[in-house]
C-alpha cells in the first residue's frame, strides 16, 4: 500500500526541499508500479482459442474468445454488440 506525504502546517526552506523530495520519490514509485502493471497487462493472452462441436458447449465464454465449431466448420468470435454479447461467425 502506498504511503502519501503528510504536509506540515509551517514550512521552512528545508521543509519544502524535504517535502519536494518525498513527493518526487512517491511519484517515482507510483510510476514504477503503473509501468509494472502495464507490462503485466501487455503480456497477458488477449484471446482464447477453442475447438468445440458447437459454441454452445462453452459454458462461460469471455469477450474476445474465438472457437472453431466443428459442426458448422466455422470460426466464431464471442463479441459485444452494444448491450448484447453473442457468438458471431468470423468466416
| Whole-Å CA distances, 67 to 11, 22, 46, 57, 90 | 63, 51, 14, 10, 10
Locate the domains of the chain by residue range. 10-44, 49-89
- Integer-rounded Cα Rg, in Å, for the chain is 25
Q: In what order do the strands lie in the sheet with 66-69?
A: 49-52, 66-69, 74-81, 84-89
> pLDDT tens, 38-90?
888 777 766 667 777 877 777 788 788 888 888 888 888 888 877 788 888 88
Work out the pLDDT band at 8, boundaries 50, 70, 90: low
| Whole-Å CA distances, 57 to 61, 75, 81, 82 | 10, 14, 21, 24
Work out the pLDDT band at 30, boundaries 50, 70, 90: very high
In a 13 Å sphere around the CA of 27, the CA atoms on its Cβ side amount to: 6
Amino acid at each position: 500500500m502506498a504511503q502519501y506525504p503528510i504536509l506540515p502546517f509551517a514550512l521552512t526552506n528545508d521543509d519544502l526541499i524535504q517535502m519536494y523530495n518525498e513527493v518526487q520519490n512517491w511519484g517515482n514509485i507510483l510510476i514504477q508500479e503503473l509501468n509494472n502493471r502495464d507490462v503485466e497487462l501487455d503480456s497477458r493472452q488477449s484471446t482464447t482459442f477453442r475447438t468445440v462441436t458447437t459454441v454452445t458447449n462453452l459454458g462461460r465464454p469471455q469477450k474476445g474468445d474465438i472457437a472453431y465449431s466443428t459442426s458448422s466448420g466455422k470460426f466464431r468470435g464471442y463479441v459485444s454488440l452494444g448491450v448484447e454479447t453473442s457468438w458471431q461467425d468470423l468466416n
